[in-house]
Amino acid sequence: MPRWVVVLGIGCLLGPDMLAAQQTRNERLAAAQRAYEEFDTDQALTLLRAALNPAEGPQDSAWARGVELLGQILLEAGDTLQARVWFRWAFRTAPTIPIDTVNFLADVVQAMRGARAAVTASPGDLVSRTTWQWAAPGAPPGQGRLQLTAPRMTAPVNALVPGAGVVQSGQTVALAAATYEIQTAAEGYLTTQLTREVLPGVTTVLEFNLSPLSAGVLASNVRAAAFARLVPLTVRRFPSDSTCATGALVGGAGLVLTSYTAIRGAERVGAVVGSRRFGEEIRVLAWDVARNLAVLQVPVGGADSLPLASQVGPGQFVWALGFPNCQTPLDTRARAGATVEPALELADSVRDAERLGPLINSDGQLVGIVTAARAGAPPAAVQAVLDAARRQVSAREKLTVAQVALRENHAYGSMAISADVTGVTARITTLETWQWPQLAWSGPLPRTFTGPMGRYQLDVQFPGQESRRLQFTIRAGATERFPVATRALAAEEPQVGVAPPRRGKKFPWPIALIGAGGLGAAAFLLFGGGGGTDTGGMTVLLPSH
C-alpha cells in the first residue's frame, strides 16, 4: 500500500538551550519518518515512542504529528486500542495540540478527534501531579506500570485501580495499556477521583496531595460574613405573587450580582440590604441572557461586598448561599465538576437552585453564581458582566427590570384556555426564539397559561377526534381568554383570530409601545401589569368527521 508522506516540522524560533534539548527528539522524529517511508515500522515505532517522552521537548506541533504518526502505524497494524490510548494520553498531556487533517489517514483523524472529545478534566487533577519514567522494568509487552506516591501527606493513600485492586502509595503495579478511572482515599482527607492513561513500556507516576477533611467545612465566621453581604430579592411577574431570589453585593457602588433567571420577565423587584428596603429605586446595569447573569444597583454607599476569586478548580468544594423563603439563610455544599469553563459544572445537585445566588469557596470568595441545579456561571463570566455594569454606574438613563423584560421580549402575560366539552387535553409548546423549553405544558383543560410574550403552539385533543394544532399569542401585561369551541364546518381549516407578533430589533430608549400588544405592554411598563384585560371569547372552527 502507498505510504503517506508526513513532514514533521521543526520550530526554528527557539533559544539555544531549548534548540539543543530538542535536537535529539527532532532527529528521532525525522528518523522515524524515514523508517516509516521505508516500511520499517518496527524501527519507526521504537523511535517515536522514545521521541514522545515529554521530558525530551515541548508538546508542540512537531510532537503532535509524531503522536499521529505513531497512531497511524498502530492503526495500520490493527492495534486500535493502543492507538487510542496514545491519543487520549496526548490530549490529556497537551489539550491544545493541533490535529493534522491533511497528511494522515481519515481513520487517524477521526480517532484523534474522538480522543480529544473523550478527555475531560477530573476532580483529582487539583490534588495530584502526573509525571512519567520513560521505562517500565519488569512490565510484560503491551503493558506499563503505575506508581503512586504521597510524599507531602501524613497518611498513606489507597487507590482503587481497575484490574489491580487497591494500590497503596509507595507501590508500583503492572497494568495493561489503557485508560483508568482511579478512586483515591486517605484517613483524614477528602476522597477524589481522576482519570489517567497507562502507556506500554512507560511508568506513570501519580503524586497525591489530597485535601484535608477541614477543606470540606465552611467555617462559621466565613459563613456569617458571606451572608451579611447577601441581598434577599423579592421578584414579581405578571400576574402571579412574588417569588424569592438571592443576590450578592459585589464590587462596590451598590452593585448586586444575581442570575438573569432571577429577574427574567419581572415587572417589579424588591431588595433588602441590611435593615433597608428598596423597590422603585432599583435599576439593572448589565445582564447577559446567554450566561444567565444580571447586575442590579441599589442606592447604598460603602456597603461591604464579597471578594471575587480568580478561579475555581475541578473537584473544589463550593457553597451555594441564599434565602429560599426570602428570610431564612441556607447554604448547600457541592463540588465543582470536571468542567469549569466556559460554564461551571457542579458535581452535586443544589437544592432550591432557582432561589439561591452566590457560590463561594472555603475562604468566602465568590467563585460563581448558581444558574441551575448542577450549573453555575464561573469567575470569568462574573467578571465580564461586572465590568459591563461598572461602565453604566454613571449613566444618566438606567433601566428597570420591567424595561429589561420588554427589551428581551420576556415580559409576562397570561391566556385562559378553555373548551366547551369535558375530557379535552392540550399541549403547549413555545414558538419564539426568546422563549425557553421549560415553558412547555401538557394536561387537561381548562388551563390558565402564564409565560413571556409571543406565540405558542396549542395542540388540542378532543375525545374521539384527531388532534388539532392551533396558535395563540400572549401579550405583555395582559390576561386574555381563549375558549376553544367545536362547531361543524364542511372543509375549513382551524382559524385563530390572533396575529403572531414579529420580533425586530431590541427596543430603543425610550421604548416605543405600538401594535396589538401596545396597551398591555404600556401598562406593564408604566404600572407593573395592572391585572390585564379580557379580550372576549374566541371560537375555533373545527371541521366535522
Q: Are residues 291 and 382 in the same domain?
A: yes
**Higher-confidence position of 347 and 260:** 260
Residue written as grid cell 521505562: 135
Average pLDDT, the chain: 86
In a domain, residue 403? The reply is: no
Grid cell for residue 244: 424569592
Domain boundary (172, 194, 214) is at 214
The CB-side HSE value for 442 (13 A sphere, CA atoms) comes to 6
Q: In terms of pLDDT, which residue wins out, 429 or 485?
A: 429
Residues 427-476: pLDDT tens digits? 999 999 999 999 999 999 999 999 999 999 999 999 888 889 999 999 99
Burial of residue 330 (CB within 10 Å: 0-12, 13-18, 19+) is middle
Do 346 and 477 sit in the same domain of this protein? no
Distance of CA 347 to CAs 105, 189, 276, 336, 356, Å?
Answer: 38, 19, 37, 6, 17
Which pLDDT does position 22 carry in this prediction? Answer: 54
Q: How confident is the model at residue 487 (pLDDT cuts 50, 70, 90)?
A: low
Q: Select the highest-mean-pLDDT range: 77-86, 211-220, 482-491.
A: 77-86
Q: How confident is the model at residue 214 (pLDDT cuts 50, 70, 90)?
A: confident
Residue 2, pLDDT above cutoff 90: no
What is the reported pLDDT for 445? 96
Are 245 and 329 within one domain? yes
Shared-domain flag, residues 253 and 336: yes
Q: Do 360 and 295 fall into the same domain?
A: yes
| Domain presence at residue 497 | yes
d(CA 389, CA 383): 10
Dist CA 521 CA 389 (whole Å): 26
* CA pair distance 382, 389, nearest whole angstrom: 11
Whether residue 151 is preceded by a cis peptide bond, meaning omega within 30 degrees of 0, is no
Say if residue 57 is in the same domain as residue 155: no
| 493 and 419 share one domain | yes
Residue 160 in domain: yes
End-to-end CA distance of the chain: 68
Q: Report yes or no: 406 and 503 within 8 Å, Cβ to Cβ.
A: no
Flag whether 232 is in a domain.
yes
pLDDT (tens digit per residue) in 163-183: 999 999 999 999 999 999 999
How much is the average pLDDT of 492-496? 45
- Is residue 539 pLDDT above 90, yes or no? no
Q: Give residues with Cβ within 8 angstroms of 234, minimum separation 6.
A: 242, 243, 244, 245, 269, 270, 271, 326
pLDDT at 289 over 70: yes
Final residue of a domain: which of 151, 184, 214? 214
Based on the domain organization, do 493 and 521 belong to the same domain? yes
Residue 7, domain member (yes or no) = no
Same domain, 341 and 269: yes
* Band (36; pLDDT cuts 50, 70, 90): very high
Residue 294 has pLDDT above 80, yes or no: yes
227, 75 contact by CB (below 8 A): no
Encode 36-80 in three state secondary structure: HHCCCHHHHHHHHHHHCCHHHCCCCHHHHHHHHHHHHHHHHCCCH
- Provide CB contacts within 8 A for 347, sequence distance 6+: 123, 315, 334, 335, 336, 337, 338, 374
Query: Grid coordinates in use for 370?
Result: 448558581
Query: What pLDDT, on the 0 to 100 scale, is given for residue 31?
Result: 94
Residues 315-366 pLDDT 10s: 789 999 999 888 899 999 998 887 888 889 998 889 888 888 999 999 999 9
Domain total of the chain: 4
Q: Are 252 and 323 within one domain? A: yes
Query: Which residue segment(s) compose the domain that 423 sits in?
Result: 409-543
Instruction: Yes or no: say if 324 and 353 are a contact pair by the CB < 8 Å rule.
Output: no
pLDDT of residue 408: 98
Domain presence at residue 8: no
**Cβ-proximal residues to 33 (8 Å cutoff; 6+ apart), any chain:** 6, 7, 8, 44, 69
Helix (H) or strand (E) holding 376: strand 375-377
223 has a pLDDT exceeding 80: yes
Q: Are residues 232 and 193 in the same domain?
A: no
Q: What is the pLDDT of residue 254?
A: 93
How far is residue 109's CA from residue 362's CA, in Å, rounded to a whole number? 43
Same domain for 131 and 25, yes or no, is: no
Q: State the average pLDDT over residues 205-210.
A: 96
Q: Does the pLDDT value for residue 511 go beyond 70?
A: no
For 231-252, what is the mean pLDDT? 93
Residue 9, domain member (yes or no): no
CA 356/CA 374 separation, integer angstroms: 12
**Single-letter residue type at 49:** R
Whether 322 is covered by a domain: the verdict is yes
CATH number of the domain encompassing residue 262 = 2.40.10.120
Which among 446, 385, 436 is positioned nearest to 415, based on CA atoms? 446
DSSP-derived 3-state class of residue 262: helix
Percent of the chain with pLDDT over 70: 85
Residue 492: the pLDDT is: 45
- CATH, residue 171: 2.60.40
- Which CATH number characterizes residue 26's domain? 1.25.40.10
pLDDT value at position 110?
97
Reduced DSSP (H G I as helix, E B as strand, rest coil) percent helix, strand, coil of the chain, to 5: 25, 30, 45
In the predicted structure, residue 524 carries a pLDDT above the cut 90: no
Given a cut of 60, whether residue 106 has pLDDT beyond it is yes
Residue 331 host element (H or E): strand 330-335
Looking at 173, 197, 214, the residue that finishes a domain is 214
